[in-house]
Structure 1
């Protein structure tokens, strides 16, 4: 498994495409090399240095844009309409940069988290269980593409709207501090492309970061569902194993029970590591999310329903609501599935000629307490 490409398994593939998108946007560094190990060739070393520089550039651009928004917000602090116009994006960029910093500074832990999904424990070969993993990977791919596409379309509308206004002869004011006048076309186009690049970069990367965290939570839910199936069928699988290997039924059941316990421990380790790495950023997301929704809704009510700006703001609200919904939904799924694991342990065939055996029976109360 160590020689296998990261994300090549069914479980690992669920986050592989999301990780590629984040690295393309410069929001996540390449998988760090082990301490003391140098890249195998000069080309790889150059690629790593260039990508690290690109990640630094992405952070510098997003931070600069945030600083420009802060200056604009301070300058227009007495005008509520202008303040609301900048605050919803400013706060969104704060949460995005918080997650961006986490992905960059904890790249090695993120890489280990992804590598852990390629573990053989998470990738059973049995058809029904493999089907669950395939469905999870396909669902994660659809989520990432749909979510990022919505953000990209929203940013495109934010670019088209001021362009149409400028073509109509009106003066356009961008909701950020610009150190030069942009009333002529060349300067206006420079500022327009700059805002489009940064908002699109943040929009696509921010939605992908949310999809990544939600997908890892979803993977924990899927692994708990597989574990539940393993517990429910432990007696039958032990009987099959004893028939195939010739070992005692009790010994076969004990071996399978140990595998289930190790599987449960690994799922717990994954969820704890996810909480440890991203917990503070997600907490900030929820703390600021309500404020973002209020500012966006305040701006929305003042727009014409038939305007492009209204459509773009509606799509932005959908993105923010989806962002908060993903964490709540997948977190709840993990909690519900985890509670059902102990029910599966209690509901397995404990006694009888085809039961799990006395050794396993003695261990089951302890397993129930742990699960």
Structure 2
């Protein structure tokens, strides 16, 4: 006897990320309450001010140090990471309407009304992604703590600021207030950035889990039963597939530009971080910080590529799972619909960054190869000079 369908609030999967981004003013507000709207707007303006202030400070400092490669490198990898965050933020703000559409789509029963054994596929994959996201949060938190401690543990950076950047006043006179502001700003922007990434990863995971559920439904559909019942169940599968593809399209249209800029920046950041690691004392405080920072950048890109690759492979396996069923016992009138559906599933569903870079494992290896190539050039220039 088949298991009964149960209701599951799929939006709970993104509850942490949604709540945090709502509090900082980025996530769209659902209520029209004036008090909440005022608080939301105030948080948003604070976020923009903090992010924009950091951006300008680092940019001006790089212009001042333009002739010194090691100093520019020290600022540049922070600047690129922060620039990517700013671009993600702007992209996020421009796509607020799509976030509401994504929520509305996930609220449709086609995404969560399954027997418990199917629902476990979704829950298991989402929980695994949440574990990955938590690990990434811990790594980023460690990188932030190390960057903030650098002026106190590295003799070469004694009484310097945690972040390289130009400020329009005497920082020696107001050293501790400046440090407090920079530490707050770094923690704030890092937390926002992590939640942008985690939200995207979980949504991509939901898409791949839905494809896995669809595969199981097609595999276990008994085609020799009542013609009307079989036809309805098959049409449910076709509709499920359409909705998943539409969901993936919405994820891509919402986050694609931010992902592309992350990939683009990661090539340079990985390269410059590796370069900095060869010019600082081995196993010194700054070396350890750079190693953690490099791990964060590589993890961020690797996870995007991993989950994007998972969507591609799970969608590509739909036809194989269909053929393991007893489809040959189906009614002839249903086979035309089957043929059309299978033609549709022959092309795997892919996620891209900016419509230019496919999220896949080969893309990750390409990013690492490009980073190493630029690193080798920088290393050569440095030793020659």
Scaled by the length of structure 1, the TM-score of the pair is 0.85
> How far is 1:164 from its partner?
4.1
Match of 1:365 among 336, 339, 346: 339
**Structure 1: which 5+ runs fail to align?**
1-7, 34-38, 240-248
Change (3 A) 1:17 1:359: farther
- Which region of structure 1 is more displaced relative to structure 2, 123-132 or 70-79? 123-132
Equivalence map 1:211-360=2 (5 Å): 211-235=198-222, 239=225, 249-351=226-328, 355-360=329-334
For the Cα contact (< 8 Å) 2:130–2:202, is it kept in 1?
Answer: no
Q: In the TM superposition, what is the alpha-carbon distance from 1:363 to its structure 2 partner?
A: 1.6
In 1, the alpha carbon distance for the partners of 2:201 and 2:114 equals 25
Query: In the TM superposition, what is the alpha-carbon distance from 1:131 to its structure 2 partner?
Result: 0.8
| Structure 1 residues 27 and 308, CA gap change in structure 2 (3 angstroms) | farther
Matches of 2:40 and 2:138, distance apart in 1: 24
Q: Could you tell me which residue of structure 2 aligns to residue 103 of structure 1?
A: 92
**Distance (whole Å) between structure 1 residues aligned to residue 46 and residue 327 of structure 2:** 60
Deviation of 1:27 (Å)? 3.6
| 8 Å Cα contact 2:270-2:297 kept in structure 1 | yes
CA contact (8 A) 2:222 2:230 kept: yes
For the residues of structure 1 that align with 2:88 and 2:67, how far apart are their CA atoms?
A: 31
Partner Cα separation in structure 1 for residue 302 and residue 343 of structure 2: 31
C-alpha distance in structure 2 between counterparts of 1:24 and 1:258, whole Å: 41
Partners of 1:12 and 1:115 within 8 A in 2: no
How far 1:341 moved relative to its partner? 0.5
Secondary structure of the 2:335 match is helix
The verdict on how the C-alpha distance between 1:21 and 1:12 changes in structure 2, with shifts beyond 3 A counting, is same
| 1:43-83 deviations in Å (ceiling 9; x for gaps) | x3211221122112101210111011000000000011110
Deviations 1:203-236 (A, max 9, x none): 1221221121122111111000000011111116
CA distance in 1, matches of 2:149, 2:275: 22
What is aligned with 1:5? none
Does residue 210 in structure 1 map to residue 197 in structure 2?
Answer: yes
**Within the alignment, does 1:172 sit opposite 2:171 as a pair?**
no
Which one of 172, 186, 189 corresponds to residue 176 of structure 2?
189
Distance (whole Å) between structure 2 residues aligned to residue 25 and residue 226 of structure 1:
35
Deviation at 1:172, TM superposition (A): 1.6
Alpha-carbon distance in 1 for matches of 2:240, 2:166: 53
SS at match of 1:301: helix
Greater CA drift, 135-144 or 96-105: 135-144
1:15–1:169 CA distance, 2 compared to 1 (3 A) = closer
Aligned to 1:142: 131
Query: Which residue is equivalent to 2:13?
Result: 14
After superposing on structure 2, the runs of 4+ consecutive aligned residues of structure 1 that deviate more than 6 Å are none
Matched, 1:91 2:80: yes
Q: Distance in 2 between matches of 1:54 and 1:88?
A: 27
What's 2:381 paired with?
none
Contact 2:23/2:40, CA 8 A, preserved across alignment: no
Report how many residues are paired.
338
Task: Look up the match of 1:36.
Answer: none
Q: Whole-Å Cα distance in 2 between the matches of residues 342 and 267 of structure 1? A: 16
1:174-215 deviation digits (Å, cap 9, x = unpaired)? 41001111224xx11111111111211221221221121122
* Counterpart Cα distance in 1 of 2:98 and 2:45: 19
> More relative contact order in 1 or in 2 (CA 8 Å, sep 6+)?
1
Contact 1:151 1:203 in 2 (8 A): yes
Name 2:69's counterpart in structure 1.
Answer: 80
Query: Which residue of structure 2 aligns with residue 245 of structure 1?
Result: none
Q: Taking structure 2 as the reference length, what is the TM-score of the superposition?
A: 0.82
